[in-house]
């Protein structure tokens, strides 16, 4: 098994590509700490590596964020070994029965149409672009009174030095251009 790695804009995050499905159509899954990784055998194994701070499971990649004081030359070989061991053992990546989704707000009428436009832009234009950098951005909410869209930045995007610029200059500009009801975009944790 050969696992490719790619740098991301976040110097503390590396994207690992095992050449096999990771979260597939069930994900993505973001584990900001070891305590949250209960549904994923792979994430639990990765958190056993000294220096791993965050695990993000994309459709066909794993993004690992390390502690700032750790060096990739020590963390990366151990992460590669954990991923390889997991796949060679034939274990599932995530127990989809145990993985819980977030409750989604239900919008009605014209607001529902606006939210659908926002979600479609996220799915077709924004998420594929940030996935190339090992991250993900998901819709959380839209306040029709203020026009503010709340998004969750995950994977390599969480804690990335350029995430604020990506959010404001890229995503906010795109959403405001295509969805005039949008006035601003903010990140939530």
Mean pLDDT, consecutive 10-residue stretches, the chain (189 aa), reads 89 92 81 89 94 91 93 95 93 69 74 90 84 79 90 72 71 89 85
Type and span of the H or E element at 42: helix 41-47
Please give the distance of CA 59 from its chain centroid, rounded to a whole number.
Answer: 10
Q: What is the reported pLDDT for 160?
A: 64
pLDDT at 59 (0 to 100): 84
Domain-by-domain residue ranges, the chain? 4-88, 109-188
pLDDT at 171: 84
Residue 67: what pLDDT?
94
Give pLDDT, residue 1.
80
- Domain 4-88: CATH architecture, name and number where available: 2-Layer Sandwich (3.30)
pTM of the model: 0.67
Q: Which residues pair with 30 in a beta bridge?
A: 56
Write down the pLDDT at residue 5: 94
Fold that domain 109-188 belongs to in CATH: GMP Synthetase; Chain A, domain 3 (3.30.300)
CA-closest candidate to residue 131, choices 61, 30, 185 = 61
pLDDT of residue 151: 86
Name the DSSP class of 38.
T
């Amino acid at each position: 098994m050969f696992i490719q790695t790619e740098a991301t804009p976040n110097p503390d995050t590396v994207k690992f590509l095992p050449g096999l499905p990771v979260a597939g159509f069930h994900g993505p899954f973001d584990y900001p700490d070891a305590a949250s990784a209960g549904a994923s055998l792979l994430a639990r194994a990765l958190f056993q590596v000294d220096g791993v701070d965050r695990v993000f499971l994309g459709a066909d990649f794993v993004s690992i964020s390390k502690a700032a004081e750790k060096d990739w030359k020590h963390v990366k070989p151990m992460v590669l070994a954990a991923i390889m061991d997991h796949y060679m053992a034939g274990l599932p990546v995530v127990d989809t029965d145990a993985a819980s989704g977030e409750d989604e707000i239900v919008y009605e009428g014209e607001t529902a149409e606006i939210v659908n436009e926002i979600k479609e832009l996220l799915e077709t234009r924004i998420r594929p672009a940030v996935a190339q950098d090992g991250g993900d951005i998901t819709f959380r909410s839209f306040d029709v009174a203020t026009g503010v869209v709340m998004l969750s930045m995950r994977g390599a995007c969480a804690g990335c030095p350029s995430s604020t610029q990506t959010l404001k200059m890229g995503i906010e500009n795109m959403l405001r251009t295509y969805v005039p009801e949008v006035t601003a975009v903010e990140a939530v944790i």
